[in-house]
Amino acid sequence: MVDKWKNYQILARDFLDAGDNKEALNAYLKAVDFAPNKEELANVYFAIADLYWQEDKRTQAAKYYRKIQRLGEYAGAEYGLGVFAQEEGDIVEAVGHFEYALMIDPDYESACYELALLNDRIGYKDRALELFERCAELVPDNGVVYSDMASIYEERKEYKKALALAEKAVALSPAYSIGYYNLGVIYQKTFKNEKALAAYEDALALDENYAPTYLNMSAIYLRMKAPEKAIAILTEGIEKNLNSVNLYYNRSCSHMRLGEKEAAIRDLKRAIAINPHAKLWASRDVDLKDIVREVED
């Protein structure tokens, strides 16, 4: 039996090296019956679950993670089930799995990070910061974590802390576009317009499809009383995001600042077509309330 176990393991690895995941999976499935002990059985279950996950067969993958659970406490199985629960919108279950994974393995950085993101999302900011700081201790050169922490401090208007973390984030992870975006938000909130625009330009150089960057840049140009520049950057954003209600809406506002009523009406119509709530927004907007009645239902 040991020989068969070894043979199937070798065969599976050969198929993996050749890029044939289907045959590798078949080999691992056959190996199950010949696992010499519980630990080896758990390892082959992990290999099977991961291959199903790669093929986006989440139900089958979850089935094998649950098999692993029955063998003992394995942080990787809890992590996998936590990710699936999160994707299905079951935040409570996801939190439970990630917490358990960290209890089993306190150094499991991926589980720590996902748990931090969930706590941030549901409003437990102190817990999120605690977990992000733990992630930073586990992986000190990951700028993404520092950027996430910066966002929380920015929300709290603790801009000095936020800025230090955001600057560290882009230094550590210069290819992470959201890091520059978050840096831009902090500069924008502290009225450092030119620095904010420069950070947003860096963000767009890495990801030209992120609509909020264009939106924030347009807001700065309007603050600087340069609606022409706001229209230009919003137009760039719309070319990349044809269904962004916010970009059309803000371009409508910018046109009104220039007295370009017909262009403003056209953009407001487009915004309302994407999201009918835009008409209500406009009725309360000092820039647009006077043209709402001219937009057809």
Is position 70 within any domain?
Answer: no
CATH assignment of the domain containing 242: 1.25.40.10
Is position 217 within any domain?
Answer: yes
- Residue 165 predicted with pLDDT over 90: yes
Is position 144 within any domain?
Answer: no
Q: pLDDT value at position 31?
A: 85
| CA distance readout (Å), 218 to 61, 82, 83, 195, 290 | 45, 39, 36, 14, 22
In the chain, the percentage of residues whose pLDDT exceeds 70 is 99
136-162 average pLDDT score: 97
Q: pLDDT value at position 70?
A: 96
pLDDT in tens, 17-70: 888 888 988 888 998 988 889 999 999 999 999 999 999 999 999 999 999 999
Return the residue matching tokens 């407001």. 268
Is position 150 within any domain?
Answer: no
- Residue 290 predicted with pLDDT over 80: yes
- Residue 1 predicted with pLDDT over 60: no
Is position 48 within any domain?
Answer: no
222-234 average pLDDT score: 97
Q: How confident is the model at residue 202 (pLDDT cuts 50, 70, 90)?
A: very high
Q: How confident is the model at residue 207 (pLDDT cuts 50, 70, 90)?
A: very high
* Mean pLDDT computed over every residue of the chain: 95
Q: How many domains does the chain have?
A: 1
Is position 250 within any domain?
Answer: yes
pTM (predicted TM-score): 0.89
Q: How confident is the model at residue 296 (pLDDT cuts 50, 70, 90)?
A: low
Contacts (Cβ under 8 Å, ≥6 apart) of 155: 125
Is position 202 within any domain?
Answer: no
pLDDT higher for 241 or 20? 241
273-279 average pLDDT score: 95
pLDDT in tens, 82-115: 999 999 999 999 999 999 999 999 999 999 999 9
Domain of 253, in residue numbers:
208-297
Contact present, 101 and 108 (Cβ < 8 Å)? yes
Is position 269 within any domain?
Answer: yes
In the chain, the percentage of residues whose pLDDT exceeds 90 is 86
